[in-house]
Amino acid sequence: MEGRPLGFPVGGRPPTLPGNRHGGRGRGRRPAWIASIAGASALTVMAAGCGGSGGGSGDASLRMYASPAVKTGLDALVKEFNTANAPRIKMTVRYMPAPKIGPAATTEIQAGNPPDILGISPGSGGGATGLPLYKLAKAHRLEDLSSKPWTKGLPPLLAPTVTYKGKVYALVTGMSTEFMDYTVDELKGWGLKPPSTFADLLKLCGEIRKHGKYALVPGAADPAGNRMLLQSFSAANVYSDDPDWDEQRAAGQVRFQTTPGWRQTFQQVVDMINADCYYPGGAGRTTEEGKNLQIKGDKAAMGIGPSTASTYVTARNPKRKWAAIPVPGRRSSTLPLEVGAMSVAAHGKHVKQSIEFLDFVAQRRDQLATATGSFSPAQMARGELPAFLKPLEPLAKQGRYSLGASTMWPSDAPALAAYKMMAGLYNKTRTVDDILKAMDESWDATRG
């Protein structure tokens, strides 16, 4: 997934930069839109699709790809949808790791057999599925959904992520957040406490090594694992101090290379490598391989990732009892939001039926949030998080949210440049300066 995964034109400059000050990355508030979404809950779905194929007698066979992280909640929803619409419409889901979704869907789009439902990465800067909404909307690959009632009343922080040139192209299915977890029984048995500062974390890594384990299992061979670190550490080091940093970068007022928080974001990875925090082999290990090692529980006592992935990890190893903490930063922290969304392919075979599926999802987001470790805009407004994220609720109550890094960047190029080079930190073939320089060059090239 390195490099641009889509073969059609790169999206234009996001109209929300620098204008997203009216609904962009800044910390959450509790304005009038709360009432309009009070009944809504959310699902963070990383879904993309195979091309839908027509069935006999006008029946519509819809397909989509989705991450295994949301299988429990999505399977229940799809079963309910299929039962309610049989035999007229049937949805089939194929599950695969998130990094593979973008290439699979892109191949079908380019072949002229577009997916019925696309698991869009909202915004312009790429995301978990590698399918940026702005890029696809600019290329006229998405159906305009602006007339649907569920597009109204989105929080100012989220609305720009699914809106391109005044039109809404996706249903926001929910949000997850990056956080750090630790194995409760192990730390307690070893007489150790979870870290509250980054210095605490580095010290804890050494203490954990005394017991034959590592703090974390990295997976830096694909973008997904590097993206988790970039979002987690930049939320703590950049956006907690300056929620409007993206706007300033778009205006040419700041750069990655001259921003202390961005330098600290990648220096933290280096510091953790030097402190023996990571199980060896991270440069050649994929995110999925790292996740599997974490699930086994015999290599590491801690983890970093999105709330949906942690629900998946728990389901596969229920014996591991863990708790959540914010990712330690410089002085404070914020909760980075991974916005999940579904779109309809503009040239799919079953556009009408695909929109019916989105309508169905929109009405059932509450029940899905519980099953997938995500939370709704209404919960976000009230400062409520899923039960396992209760230790993070003080941040939520203060409205300390930010969009995940790169969500509203002018393209996915700066983030991809970082992901490509981050593996080199583990084997010392790349430096922090290399990454920051590449990100600035990629941003400048995109902006022209």
Q: What is the CATH number of the domain that holds 62?
A: 3.40.190.10
Residues 298 and 212 both lie in one domain: yes
pTM of the complete model = 0.82
Q: What is the number of H-type helices and E-type strands within the chain?
A: 17, 12
pLDDT for 341: 92
Element holding 418 (H helix, E strand): helix 413-426
Quick one: DSSP state of residue 210?
T
Q: Which amino acid is at 441?
A: E
pLDDT for 105: 93
pLDDT-flagged residues of the chain (< 70): 1-58, 330-332, 448
Cα→Cα distances 277→113, 203, 204, Å: 45, 9, 9
Residues 378 and 418 both lie in one domain: no
Cα→Cα distances 66→115, 193, 341, 382, Å: 12, 36, 12, 29
User: Contact, 159 vs 20, CB < 8 A?
Assistant: no
User: Contact, 309 vs 372, CB < 8 A?
Assistant: no
Number of domains in the chain: 2
pLDDT for 331: 60
pLDDT for 448: 56
pLDDT for 11: 34
Residues 260 and 315 both lie in one domain: yes
Residues 413 and 268 both lie in one domain: yes
pLDDT for 434: 98
Residues 182 and 216 both lie in one domain: yes
Which residues, at least 6 apart from 281, have a Cβ–Cβ distance to it below 8 Å?
A: none
Residues 75 and 169 both lie in one domain: yes
Residues 218 and 140 both lie in one domain: no
pLDDT for 330: 64
Q: Is residue 1 part of a domain?
A: no
Residues 361 and 350 both lie in one domain: yes
Residues 205 and 250 both lie in one domain: yes
Q: What are phi and psi of 303, to 5 degrees?
A: -160, 160
Beta partners for 90? 61
Helical pair 71-85 and 351-362, crossing angle rounded to 10 deg: 120
User: Where do runs of H (alpha helix) occur along 219-282?
Assistant: 223-234, 245-250, 260-274
Q: Is residue 401 part of a domain?
A: no
* 71-102 core/surface letters (b: 16 or more CB in 10 A; e: else): bbbbeebbeebeeebeeebbbebebebbbbbb
Domain hosting residue 74, numbered range:
19-27+40-175+338-393
Q: Is residue 9 part of a domain?
A: no
